């Protein structure tokens, strides 16, 4: 048996597929799909096109070997699901830097005509300063993915540090990002049932309440389907293509072409709990090796205990940006490449549709700089892709005083 693997990258996903080949003939047949094999030399093209012929050849190759190489089923489906003539990459398996990954993603976009050569060059220029300082982590939410240990016996909860031998259970599907924010696929294996219940009951509802109106208008699906909420004198509900506002007869009617109503959340969100929830999402997806410097962060997220020597929390910056809609909330992490630095250890981006929140993951052992780094000139020089947007607003999510349960919404009639 020969063990080998390849890396792939499409417009929407990337990963690695490993094979157990029965012999040299399997290896030759596989690589012949994507290039040529001459004597002891294999030549494959990095850029591949999902033509009808290639899809048929891959299907035939996988079909004859599916009994003894079950991994080929996933590879076959990957190729079948590509759009006709979509360009994708076949690459040697290796660990790539963030810079390499971003450049390969840009190459795929350019080859598929979704971006121009000039835009690729601009991307390289804009991100070069960021990626010189930070590694980028962007977990996918468009397919089933479980972060952490597959075997329950090997799991240790990221938040309470317990395992099965110390009483932890891992029976629930713990979502790395709240299910109420549209996340169906991205799960965290290393989150015990007790912590999962605590987050779902006591913490995450605060962020859901804060984002009540965005979720309504974006149509973000939770466990109960499309969102709806109470308003004074009626209800508002999203039905996919349309939003319905139902008012009782004695409720205020439209005046001067404008309808004003107040959306009522189930709870009054506590700002600090909203920040803790955002940080929980980040801790759920951050590489395990980074957790050792985030013990105080984990303790704060799980139990609400700030370190004794720490004062206020950093501000969170938010903006509305022209990005493509996505059914699930997204999160991206920028993790500083070196140890102690005057730059934040972890900068995070949380996005729900066109609503974006940028925040520092607080209380890291590696943080030595100003908590007001976000919004500074240095931040703008390093994170140029954020500086391009001018409508940023600083949010103070450090308070423990509950916010209002109601949000005023004004809808203006257009011609």
* 131-163 pLDDT per residue, tens: 889 988 988 887 788 999 989 999 999 999 999
Do the domain assignments include residue 87? yes
Sign for the pseudo-dihedral over CA of 24, 79, 59, 66: positive
Q: What is the pLDDT of residues 54-69, one digit of tens each?
A: 999 999 988 888 777 7
Residue positions counted in the chain? 415
Q: What is the pLDDT of residues 332-365, one digit of tens each?
A: 999 999 877 789 999 999 999 889 999 999 999 9
As a whole number of angstroms, the distance between CA 179 and CA 181 comes to 5
CA Rg value for the chain: 24
Q: How many domains does the chain have?
A: 1
Do the domain assignments include residue 45? yes
Burial class (CB in 10 A: 0-12, 13-18, 19+), 304: middle
Give the tokens for residue 205: 């509802």
As a whole number of angstroms, the distance between CA 285 and CA 321 comes to 24
Do the domain assignments include residue 55? yes
Do the domain assignments include residue 89? yes
Residues 403/273, Cβ–Cβ less than 8 Å: no
Model pTM score: 0.78
Q: Return the minimum-mean-pLDDT range out of 243-252, 261-270, 324-333, 379-388.
A: 243-252
Residues 319/353, Cβ–Cβ less than 8 Å: no
Do the domain assignments include residue 66? yes
As a whole number of angstroms, the distance between CA 88 and CA 48 comes to 5
Whether 22 shows a pLDDT value over 60: the answer reads no
Q: According to the model, what pLDDT value does residue 384 have?
A: 87
Do the domain assignments include residue 339? no
Average pLDDT score over residue span 225-250: 83
Q: According to the model, what pLDDT value does residue 30 have?
A: 83
Farthest CA pair distance, the chain: 84
Q: How confident is the model at residue 291 (pLDDT cuts 50, 70, 90)?
A: very high
Do the domain assignments include residue 391? no
Give the tokens for residue 289: 């090796």
Q: Provide CB contacts within 8 A for 378, sequence distance 6+.
A: none
Residue with tokens 């509950």: 402
Q: Which of 313, 302, 356 is nearest to 332 (CA)?
A: 356
Residues 159/138, Cβ–Cβ less than 8 Å: no
Whether 285 shows a pLDDT value over 70: the answer reads yes
Do the domain assignments include residue 143? no
Q: Which domain holds residue 11?
A: 1-95
Q: Which of 323, 333, 274 is nearest to 147 (CA)?
A: 333
């Amino acid at each position: 048996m020969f063990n080998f693997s390849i890396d792939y990258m499409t417009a929407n996903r990337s990963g690695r597929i490993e094979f157990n080949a029965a012999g040299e003939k399997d290896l030759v047949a596989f690589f012949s799909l994507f290039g040529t094999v001459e004597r002891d030399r294999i030549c494959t093209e990095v850029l591949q096109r999902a033509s009808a012929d290639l899809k048929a050849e891959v299907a035939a190759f996988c079909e004859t070997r599916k009994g003894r190489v079950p991994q080929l089923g996933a590879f076959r489906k990957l190729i079948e699901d590509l759009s006709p003539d979509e360009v994708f990459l076949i690459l040697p398996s290796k660990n790539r830097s963030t810079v390499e990954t971003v450049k390969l993603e840009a190459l795929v976009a350019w080859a598929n005509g979704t971006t121009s050569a000039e835009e690729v060059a601009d991307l390289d220029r804009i991100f070069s300063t960021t990626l010189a300082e930070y590694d980028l982590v962007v977990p996918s939410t468009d397919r089933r993915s479980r972060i952490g240990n597959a075997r329950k016996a090997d799991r240790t909860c990221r938040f309470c540090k317990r395992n099965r031998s110390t009483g932890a259970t891992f029976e629930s599907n713990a979502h790395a990002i709240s299910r109420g924010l549209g996340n169906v696929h991205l799960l965290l294996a290393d989150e015990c049932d007790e912590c999962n219940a605590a987050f779902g009951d006591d913490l995450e509802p605060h962020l859901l309440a804060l984002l009540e109106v965005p979720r309504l208008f974006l149509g973000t699906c939770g466990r109960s389907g499309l969102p709806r909420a109470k308003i004074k004198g009626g209800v508002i509900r999203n039905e996919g293509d349309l939003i319905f506002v139902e008012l009782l007869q004695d409720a205020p009617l439209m005046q001067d072409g404008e309808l004003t109503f107040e959306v009522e959340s189930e709870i009054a969100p506590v700002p600090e709990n909203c920040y803790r929830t955002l940080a929980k999402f980040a801790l759920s997806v951050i590489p395990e090796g980074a957790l050792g410097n985030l013990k105080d962060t984990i303790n704060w997220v799980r139990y609400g205990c700030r370190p004794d020597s720490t004062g206020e929390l950093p501000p969170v910056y938010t903006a509305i940006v022209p990005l493509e809609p996505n059914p699930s909330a997204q999160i991206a992490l920028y993790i500083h490449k070196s140890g102690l630095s005057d730059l934040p250890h972890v900068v995070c981006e949380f996005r729900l549709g066109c609503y974006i929140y940028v925040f520092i993951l607080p209380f890291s052992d590696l943080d030595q700089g100003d908590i007001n780094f976000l919004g500074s000139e240095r931040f703008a020089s390093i994170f140029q892709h954020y500086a391009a947007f001018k409508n940023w607003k600083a949010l103070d999510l450090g308070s423990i005083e509950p916010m209002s349960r109601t949000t005023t919404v004004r809808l203006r009639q257009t011609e």
